[in-house]
Amino acid sequence: MPGIVSYGVYLPYYRIKFADIAEAWNKKEAKLPGEKTVPGVDETTLTMGRNAVINALQHANIQVNEIGAVYFCSNSSMIEGSLAQDIAIAADMNPNVTIADLHGSSRSFTMAIQMCLDALQLERIRYGVIIGSDILVGGVGTSIGEPASEYISAAGAGALILGSEGTIADFEAMTSYMTGLKDRWRDLNERFPRIGEGRFIRDYGYIDHVVKAGKALLGKIERPINDFQHIILQQPHAQWFQRALERLGVAKEAIKERLTAPGFLIGKFGDLGAACLPVALAEVLDNAQPDETILMISYGSGGADSLSWIVKPPILEKKERATPVEKFLKYKEYVNYTKMLRYNKVISQSG
């Protein structure tokens, strides 16, 4: 049975508190708790993705020449060229490795998982690497309740290695749901994405798609949602996450616990885009035990994918080789609002 062989993450060293962003704009959110990552001035989706892959390879303890495919997923990477190819070269992989770049949606990470699983089931490859890496930059001055919020748009990367041998979590099932809704778009001349009205894209975009994809999976595997030990959802907004849990049928008394459980990232790192699910999954696997089940649902641009995983005993022996998410929670330095703008290249280094 194909599944997850290993994982790796990378989160930038720099952080900014939500309250410091609010203070810069004299906004009422000045006491808002939480913080987000800020990329270093020389960090890119490529460098972060490469670091996540190196950590995943170390965790897997496999030879790099055993990798048969590399999938790079992002909302914010270069417009032309292949970062999957660049990562394959940077990691010294074979020149005959399959490469693919998926852009334009945070959902691209789960789309790549499906592509990799198909290649594994056809025995075309032995192992595949999937990278989600993003540097999201919200519109300058946007408030916490607005789309493309400057508060939560963040940076980070996560990588999974999938294979059929030595898995720490086996793939169980997958379902998808999509419509023609476009809630986020940008052309080549625009610095920041344009996003639809907040309540509309919350209810008819994120919540509607996540719930329908999730309920389709629950019906397919005939398991109630409250039987899952771990639930990971795309996290563009903390309140949206909570409402989606309610609509999926999570017991009300359990929702508060889910909001503090491993895998809930938005108050710790911000919105990581295509990196959200691999980093959240890594934090769950850092703490998971054999036979526990994981529900994971992505969302992006009018589409959602829902997957279920079953944790396997090899996770116990592999944990000591993992670079835990907790390390990145502790290893940090705070920057002020002006530095955040500079590091995100909103203003020039000399400005």
Per-residue pLDDT of 60-109, as tens digits, reads 989 999 999 999 999 887 677 899 999 999 999 999 999 999 988 899 99
What pLDDT is attached to residue 142? 79
Residue 324 has pLDDT above 50, yes or no: yes
Tokens standing for residue 307? 């997957």
Cα separation, 107 vs 130, whole angstroms: 13
Domains and CATH numbers, the chain: 3-168+316-343 (3.40.47.10), 169-315 (3.40.47.10)
Quote the pLDDT of residue 145. 63
Which two structure tokens, joined as six digits, stand for 137? 């930059």
Question: How big is the CA angle at 88 (ends 271 and 12), to the nearest 5 degrees?
Answer: 30
pLDDT at 1: 84
pLDDT tens digit string along 200-255? 888 988 999 999 999 999 999 999 999 999 999 999 988 899 999 999 999 888 99
Are 248 and 273 contacting, i.e. CB atoms less than 8 angstroms apart?
no
Strand, helix or coil for residue 10: strand
- Give yes or no for a contact between 273 and 136, defined as CB atoms under 8 angstroms apart: yes
For the stretch 103-156, pLDDT in tens is 888 999 999 999 999 999 999 999 999 999 999 998 888 776 665 688 899 999
pLDDT band at 351 (very low <50, low <70, confident <90, very high): very low
pLDDT exceeds 50 at position 165: yes
b/e code 247-268 from CB counts within 10 Å (16+ = b): bbebeeeeeeebeebbbbbbbb
Specify which residues 71 forms β-bridges with: 100, 130
Residue 248, SS3 per DSSP? helix
Residues 6+ apart with CB under 8 A from 221: 172, 173, 308
* pTM of the model as a whole: 0.95
